[in-house]
Structure 1
Amino acid sequence: MSKAGNAPFWRTKRLEEMTPSEWESLCDGCGRCCLHKLRDEETNELAFTNVSCRLLDTATGRCRNYENRLREVPDCSALTPELVTAIDWLPPSCAYRLIAEGKDLPDWHPLLTGDPESTFRAGASVAGRVRSETSVHHLEDHIVNWPACWPRARCHAG
């Protein structure tokens, strides 16, 4: 059997070729895409905050109502292959972003480890690191750098 025949789907398929279950399994559950982001109107610079969508469970980093999130949160985005290549706010370790860029998954990704907690242990999850939007009044006071960095990478303050 050829080497490609043994390769996992994310190494042999483009995002648009994946089945719905393959697509969903790419998500490592980090929750970084559920954080509010601010964009400077003059410079177009993007800033992450440590403030999450109201549906995100801040203790686990998981959406409390994933199936209905698009109805409940009007600015929630359903990722598609087209959207993944058009947006600039996915974290650098996001599997969708990595696959779109022709890269492989990080070694701590649950598809490689078989353990959904590996994302948390790698320092990639937002669990325990964020506040819900329901408890925050000024997003500008909550700008942080870590969501835009690789897990365990040294980032500037924040």
Structure 2
Amino acid sequence: MSATPEAPFWKTTPLAAMSREEWESLCDGCGRCCLHKLEDADSGRLQFTNVACRLLDLGSCRCTRYATRRRWVSDCVQLTPQTAGRFNWLPSTCAYRLLAEGGELPDWHPLVCGDPAAVHRAGVSVRGRAISERYVHDLETHIVEWPA
């Protein structure tokens, strides 16, 4: 008789009960949350750009100053278990959003497949599709459809 494998933590632990390490491991490294968004003042409609925060490493799709990012970018949003389901600008593939909405992690997620580069091969990350805000003067000329 074989033992039943234990279910992974993200299937058994509510977001609010996860350890910091578990919470942080949910990030797939796509970098899409670090892209600038524009909101229409009248309609509230969001438009996505291919312009990334200056702290995002466009190769690894990770923040270069994650631990101190709010010191460098004061309006950087910090996701919490309480807010993860409220941000409609998070990509539909975001693990935080998926789990907050009762969904499953995709097959390419590093926690599922064990490969941190799978997010890039799946075409989900910003790698090769984004530019740093350091080189952009007009966000409206960089509106794209793909991050949604």
Bin the TM-score by the shorter chain: over 0.9
- The aligned counterpart of 1:62 is 62
- What letter corresponds to residue 107 of structure 1 in structure 2? D
Superposition deviation, residue 60 in structure 1: 2.4
- The aligned counterpart of 1:129 is 129
Q: Distance in 1 between matches of 2:145 and 2:22?
A: 30
**Per-residue displacement from partner, 1:69-96 (whole Å, max 9, x unpaired)?**
1111111111101121222110000000
CA contact (8 A) 2:85 2:96 kept: no
Runs of 4+ that moved beyond 2 A: none
- The aligned counterpart of 2:114 is 114
- The aligned counterpart of 1:154 is none
- What letter corresponds to residue 115 of structure 1 in structure 2? D
- The aligned counterpart of 2:142 is 142
C-alpha distance 41-18 of structure 1, shift in aligned 2 (>3 A): same
- The aligned counterpart of 1:88 is 88
**Per-residue displacement from partner, 1:102-157 (whole Å, max 9, x unpaired)?**
01100000001111101100101101110100100000110111111xxxxxxxxx
Task: Tell me the number of residue pairs that the alignment of Structure 1 and Structure 2 aligns.
Answer: 147
C-alpha distance 2-77 of structure 1, shift in aligned 2 (>3 A): farther
Superposition deviation, residue 63 in structure 1: 1.2
Structure 2 unaligned residues grouped into runs of 5+? none
C-alpha distance 42-8 of structure 1, shift in aligned 2 (>3 A): same
Structure 1 unaligned residues grouped into runs of 5+? 149-158
C-alpha distance 14-2 of structure 1, shift in aligned 2 (>3 A): farther
- The aligned counterpart of 1:44 is 44
Q: Distance in 2 between matches of 1:85 and 1:119?
A: 21
Q: Distance in 1 between matches of 2:71 and 2:147?
A: 25
Q: How does 1:95-110 map to 2 (within 5 A)?
A: 95-110=95-110
- What letter corresponds to residue 48 of structure 1 in structure 2? F
